[in-house]
């Protein structure tokens, strides 16, 4: 496991998340911070717990939004090409 970590292409990983304006990592951080702040507000107001189906839906939406941010350039290209 340690060798896998040491052999990783960290420069490519950094370059991928540093691309864009604002950088990709900032876009993901902002989106996840918004969801986290909404969760904090719910906890502060002692709101009842979400139903399991609703909680799963929110998690899927967050994951989907992160995927859209990561692949936004590819998705935009596909929409421009075929749309």
Buried b (16+ CB within 10 A) or exposed e, 46-60: eeeeeeeeeeeeeee
Domain ranges of the chain: 2-82
pLDDT of residue 38: 93
Is the pLDDT at 83 greater than 80? The verdict is no
Average pLDDT of the residues in 53-67? 95
- Does the structure show a pLDDT above 80 at 76? yes
Three-state SS letters, the chain: CHHHHHCCCHHHHHHHHHCCCCCHHHHHHHHHHHHHHHHHHHHHCCCCCCCHHHHHHHHHHHHHHHHHHHCHHHHHHHHHHHC
1-49 pLDDT tens trace: 888 888 888 888 888 889 888 999 999 999 999 999 999 999 999 989 8
Instruction: Quote the mean pLDDT of the chain.
Output: 91
């Amino acid at each position: 496991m340690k060798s896998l970590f040491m052999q990783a292409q960290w420069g490519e990983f950094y370059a991928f998340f540093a691309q864009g304006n604002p950088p990709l990592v900032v876009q993901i951080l902002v989106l996840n911070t918004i969801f986290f702040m909404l969760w904090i507000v719910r906890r502060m107001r002692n709101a009842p717990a979400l139903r399991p189906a609703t909680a799963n839906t929110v998690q899927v939406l967050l994951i989907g939004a992160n995927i859209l941010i990561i692949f936004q350039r590819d998705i935009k290209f596909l929409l421009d090409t075929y749309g």
